[in-house]
Amino acid sequence: MKDSDQQIRLRRFWGTTAFSFGILWGFSNLVYSPIAILTSVKGSSWLEVFVVLAGGIFTLCASIGAFYKRRGASLFLLIMGPILLIVAVAGQAFLQRNAHGVMNLLLLYLSGVTAILLGIFGMFTEHYGWPPLRENL
């Protein structure tokens, strides 16, 4: 096998791995939100549920979309990630009864940060000409 073929396969592997993580992250946020609403002792605020649920939907959809159009999906993540992060930080600063506990705060902030990091990765790989994530394109 040539070195260039191996390099292409390695780049495709890492791209697929990163956006597969995005799919898993998004799906786990979608599963976590109803559980947090139903089982939280102190109760989750509406803003916490909204940010985690929106982060899950955005990350899941964009990560799936990255297998078809990586640039568009990455741009979407770079736009929506900071919006989610700003809403999470502002909600935590101005609402008294927002997220409770370290794990809830971590999940709240990671909803936006994960979208931003996946968006940066996608734009980086697109800028440097990495191969498409699907071989048949």
Q: pLDDT 10s digit of each residue in the chain, 137 long?
A: 678 889 999 999 999 999 999 999 999 888 877 776 665 545 567 777 788 889 899 999 999 999 999 999 999 999 999 999 999 888 877 776 666 667 777 878 888 999 999 999 999 999 998 988 887 75
Rounded-to-integer distance, Cα 129 and Cα 103, Å: 37
Length of the chain: 137
CB 66, CB 133: distance < 8 Å: yes
Q: Which pLDDT score, from 0 to 100, does residue 49 have? A: 79
Rounded-to-integer distance, Cα 18 and Cα 46, Å: 30
- Where does residue 129 fall: left (phi above 0), alpha (psi -120 to 50 degrees), or beta otherwise? left
